[in-house]
Every structure is written in structure tokens, then in C-alpha cells.
Amino acid sequence: MAEVYVSGQIVSADLFEDNRLACMWSLQIGNIFT
């Protein structure tokens, strides 16, 4: 079974109304594997 682990950091958090929080993320893949 394949597993994926994601690690990162929160860059900024502002303009949230009513104590709600959302998270946006992206996956970038390049020629890093040889």
C-alpha cells in the first residue's frame, strides 16, 4: 500500500472572518529525481 506524507509551513494567516481557518496547498514536481 502506498502512503503519502506532507510536511510544510504556514506562510501567512490574515483576513479570516468569524474565527474560520482554511488551508490552501500546492504540489510542485520537477526534475529532482535522477
Most distant CA atoms of the chain, gap in Å: 47
pLDDT in tens, 8-32: 887 777 777 766 666 777 777 777 6
Query: Cell numbers 490552501 label which residue?
Result: 24
Burial 1-15 (b: 16+ CB within 10 A, else e): eeeeeeeeeeeeeee
Q: Does pLDDT of 3 surpass 80?
A: yes
